Chain A
Amino acid sequence: MPTLAIEGLSRTFPGVRGGAPTRAIEPTSLRVADNDFLCLLGPSGCGKSTLLRMVAGLDQPTTGRVLLDGAPVTGPGADRGMVFQSYTLFPWLTVEENIGFGLRERALPSAERARIVAHYVERVGLRGFERHYPRMLSGGMQQRTALARALANDPKVLLLDEPFGALDHQTRALMQELLLGIWEADRKTVLFVTHDIDEAIFMANRVAVMTARPGRIKSDIAIELPHPRHYTVKTTPAFSEYKARLTDEIRVESIRAAEMGA
């Protein structure tokens, strides 16, 4: 039984000042099995973030529903951890207090909390920075903290909305390896939104390609590259083959998106 089921989900935004309503997402269905690492790949403005926000419960679908372990999602909750593209660490909390935010909300005893926080600080390589405030950290370190903060809650599904989009190329590559390493070790169920083809192939075991707005899933491709994946996989012929195929699929949509003025 899949962990996460998206059934006929669509979203229409009401028109602004009497304008026509905007259809962001066509009714879409998608199943994310336990321990899947699914990348939603699409051109910018295709509604992939909207889809993710509805799974998170931060946005309400116009039609359809999201089921998590068979139960419908009605709002945000700790069972769906999220990492945002923008830096959303709480600036008044230190790194360790940020990571422990969800645990404290669950009123976990402080010893237990400290143990979990220390584990994830280590996991994302932030030892020595526990007492730092977010403004003292680089973008990469902030996103590592955000990842640890989401993981510390032990969510059933980890949702990531272009989490490395604002980082420079080198940092982004390192973050991809970090996340992939965590997934390979802990086998989380991951739904990852990106417009970066390399990123999708490198990390995912499934890539769902979305069309330009209104978004729908046009193809669902299994990435059968062996694990553990090393960054050198990016230069193998198999990787290039996936890349050629996905580039083709995305290109058509990007052109359509550009023609629509997105």
Chain B
Amino acid sequence: MLKPLVPVSRTARVALGIAFFALFFLAWGAATLGGFVNRTFLADPITMVASGWRLLVVHGFYVDIGVTVWRVVGGFVLAAAVGVPLGMAMGAYKSIEAFFEPFVSFARYLPASAFIPLLILWAGIGETQKLLVIFIGCFFQIVLMVAVSVGSTRRDLVEAAYTLGARASGIVRRVLLPSSAPDIAESLRLVLGWAWTYVIVAELIGASSGIGHMITDSQALLDTGQIIFGIVVIGVVGLVSDYLFKALNHRLFPWSLA
């Protein structure tokens, strides 16, 4: 019986999660191996695994994976290093927020991928351009999300700190920052997920390495097995990084867990 909001056991949760993956592969296998779908357009799971194996062992695909991970992490860390402090300043000081907020809100809707042609003109097709695409994609999102987290700090906690003798700098450092830290970490986790979509787009155009580059090459060869393998690799790396991020947040902010 399904009852709203009633928790399930850990084993049941894992089993259910795996069950859907199994079901998904079964349906995919049935559609392709059963001959319901043309092999040219969609590879079957077995071909996908074989293509993947060949990619890793023969073509050194792990280098591409490394390059892509490096780009995501590099662009994301740059965006966070500038975006988190700016977002905090905006959340804490309303005049700074009034100054930047309209522009950041506007810039947030500029699609990062549309900047690729411009960025190629400005920065060439090297690593700088790839990092800039991810930076643009992440930076404005981070700034706004951090500003909202900091700005929504409980007012009664701020007042309590004032009655304990805190000054403006103490309020920022010892109340606004720690109280919004778990939210900020959670925002970063979400944005890191989005960074993965930007990196692939950046690599589809003007790249000579990376998962996205492999996918474009495979398209020319009509090798759907390799394309799907590339997509699956992105999913797995994303899942792992997400899990690591979550584990880190749990470790850093034990007080915020219900």
Q: Check B254–A56 contact: CB distance below 8 A.
A: no
Q: Which B residues are in CB contact (< 8 Å) with A90?
A: 157, 160-161, 175, 178-179
Q: Which A residues are in CB contact (< 8 Å) with B256?
A: 91-92
Q: Check A92–B163 contact: CB distance below 8 A.
A: no
Nearest CB of A to B106, in Å: 29
Contacts A82-B160, A86-B156, A101-B174 hold; do A92 and B165 have CB atoms under 8 A apart? no
Q: Check A102–B157 contact: CB distance below 8 A.
A: no
Q: Check A56–B163 contact: CB distance below 8 A.
A: yes
From B157, B164, B258, give the contact of A105 (CB < 8 A).
B164
Q: Check B179–A58 contact: CB distance below 8 A.
A: no
Nearest CB of B to A161, in Å: 11
Q: Check A78–B164 contact: CB distance below 8 A.
A: yes
Chain B contacts with A in 126-178, Cβ cutoff 8 A: 154, 156-157, 159-167, 170, 174-175, 178
Nearest CB of B to A149, in Å: 7
Most chain B CB neighbours (cut-off 10 Å) among A82, A91, A134, A149: A91
B-side binding surface: helix, strand, loop or mixed?
helix
From B159, B163, B178, give the contact of A81 (CB < 8 A).
B163
A88 at the interface (CB under 8 A from B): yes
A77 at the interface (CB under 8 A from B): yes
Interface bits A83-96 vs B (CB < 8 Å: 1, else 0):
01010101111000
Chain A contacts with B in 140-156, Cβ cutoff 8 A: 146, 149-150, 153
Q: Which A residues are in CB contact (< 8 Å) with B178?
A: 90, 92-93
From A88, A101, A149, A150, give the contact of B159 (CB < 8 A).
A88
B253 at the interface (CB under 8 A from A): yes
Contacts A78-B165, A106-B165, A133-B254 hold; do A88 and B179 have CB atoms under 8 A apart? no
- Roughly how many angstroms separate A56 CA and B154 CA in the complex, as a whole number? 18
From A88, A93, A102, give the contact of B156 (CB < 8 A).
A88
A80 at the interface (CB under 8 A from B): yes
Nearest CB of A to B69, in Å: 32
Q: Check A76–B179 contact: CB distance below 8 A.
A: no
Q: Which A residues are in CB contact (< 8 Å) with B165?
A: 77-78, 102, 105-106, 153
Beta-carbon nearest neighbor of B171 in chain A: A105
Chain A contacts with B in 99-142, Cβ cutoff 8 A: 101-102, 104-106, 133-135
B255 at the interface (CB under 8 A from A): yes
Nearest CB of A to B119, in Å: 40
Q: Check A58–B159 contact: CB distance below 8 A.
A: yes
Q: Which B residues are in CB contact (< 8 Å) with A57?
A: 162-163
Q: Which A residues are in CB contact (< 8 Å) with B253?
A: 92
B112 at the interface (CB under 8 A from A): no
B201 at the interface (CB under 8 A from A): no
Beta-carbon nearest neighbor of A85 in chain B: B156
Q: Check B164–A102 contact: CB distance below 8 A.
A: yes
- Roughly how many angstroms separate A11 CA and B161 CA in the complex, as a whole number? 24
Q: Check A84–B156 contact: CB distance below 8 A.
A: yes
Q: Check A105–B160 contact: CB distance below 8 A.
A: no
Q: Which A residues are in CB contact (< 8 Å) with B166?
A: 101-102, 105
- Roughly how many angstroms separate A83 CA and B156 CA in the complex, as a whole number? 11
B181 at the interface (CB under 8 A from A): yes
Nearest CB of B to A139, in Å: 15
From B162, B164, B167, B255, give the contact of A153 (CB < 8 A).
B164
From A76, A91, A93, A104, give the contact of B163 (CB < 8 A).
A76
Q: Which A residues are in CB contact (< 8 Å) with B162?
A: 57-58, 75-76
Beta-carbon nearest neighbor of B254 in chain A: A133
Q: Check B163–A58 contact: CB distance below 8 A.
A: yes
Q: Check A81–B164 contact: CB distance below 8 A.
A: yes
Q: Check A84–B160 contact: CB distance below 8 A.
A: yes
- Roughly how many angstroms separate A57 CA and B157 CA in the complex, as a whole number? 15
The contact sample of 27 A-B pairs, CB cut-off 8 A, is: A57-B162, A58-B162, A58-B163, A77-B163, A78-B163, A82-B159, A82-B163, A84-B160, A88-B154, A88-B156, A88-B157, A88-B159, A90-B178, A90-B179, A91-B256, A92-B181, A92-B256, A93-B178, A102-B164, A102-B165, A105-B167, A105-B170, A105-B174, A106-B165, A133-B254, A149-B164, A150-B163
Q: A77-B163, A90-B157, A104-B174 are in contact. List 16 more A-B contacts (CB 8 A).
A: A57-B162, A58-B162, A76-B163, A77-B165, A78-B163, A78-B164, A78-B165, A81-B164, A84-B159, A86-B156, A90-B179, A92-B181, A93-B178, A101-B164, A102-B166, A105-B174
